[in-house]
A = this chain, B = another copy of it.
Amino acid sequence: MQILLTIAYDGTNYSGWQKQDNAITVQEKVEDALSQLLNRVVVVQASSRTDAGVHALGQRASFFAEDLRVPLDKLPMVLVGLLPSDISVIAAKVVPDDFNPRFCTEYKTYAYNIYNAPSPNPLLNRYSAFIPQCLNIEAMKEAAQAFVGQYDFAAFCATGGSAKTTVRKIFSCTVEKQINGLVTITVTGNGFLYNMVRIIAGTIAYVGMGKILPQDIKSIIMSVDRTQAGKTMPPQGLVLIEVGYPIYWTNHP
């Protein structure tokens, strides 16, 4: 029996999702909690390898367990009790054995938060990048639209990624100014390259500052040249919001 968890975390104190030697990771904490519960080694497979300092509200990870004695609807709160307070389990459901949380992904949604005000806000510091310069939101909205479509996004990919192709499809990209001063860039796509959302956010931020024009986005994409795009924004503004799967995978009886 394969169980798919929906996991939320504050990434501030972790070296990202993926388990590694000599660093504390979210995966390790989740596996520790499951191992404690099942009294054996448990390995989980996640949908996304979020970077150090990046947050999640809807990470997905699965594991196999014929030996689970906790009722499925109680599993999230039992795991919350075994996890540190900066990691939470939101939901648990059974999925088919041949489901793979990474490769079955239909879409992923990320949000990038910028706090745009004259002084920093200590209550938002942990979850946003601070830009004091007044941003042109309308120009940012226009720039965001230009990312929608299927393109070679090599200009928006940091070196060090392992992807076979740099072609990705962006389904939507929007910019919203919230009443608390946050400017939220929300991107949904079929997949993202290494640092892609943070480079898209940095490029849209440059448009907000007047350093790049909205109508230049298409030619930056076409250039396939990383140096044409904006800078990579810092990790604390990024949140993995949702990972979507085709309904035939997750509506398992």
Contacts and interface: CB of A to CB of B under 8 A. Distances in A.
A207 B167 CA distance: 54
Majority DSSP secondary structure for residues of A touching B: mixed
A28 to B, nearest CB: 16
Kindly report how many copies of this chain are found in the complex they form together: 2
A123 to B, nearest CB: 6
Contact of A123 (B57, B91, B121, B125): B57
A159 interface: no
A55 interface: yes
Given A8-B123, A123-B239, 13 more contacts: A9-B122, A10-B125, A55-B122, A55-B123, A57-B123, A76-B118, A77-B118, A80-B119, A85-B122, A85-B125, A86-B125, A87-B122, A123-B127
Interface of A: 8-10, 55, 57, 76-77, 80, 85-91, 118-123, 125-127, 132, 239
20 contacts: A8-B119, A8-B121, A8-B122, A8-B123, A9-B122, A10-B125, A55-B122, A57-B121, A76-B118, A77-B118, A77-B132, A80-B119, A85-B120, A85-B122, A85-B125, A86-B122, A86-B125, A88-B120, A123-B127, A123-B239
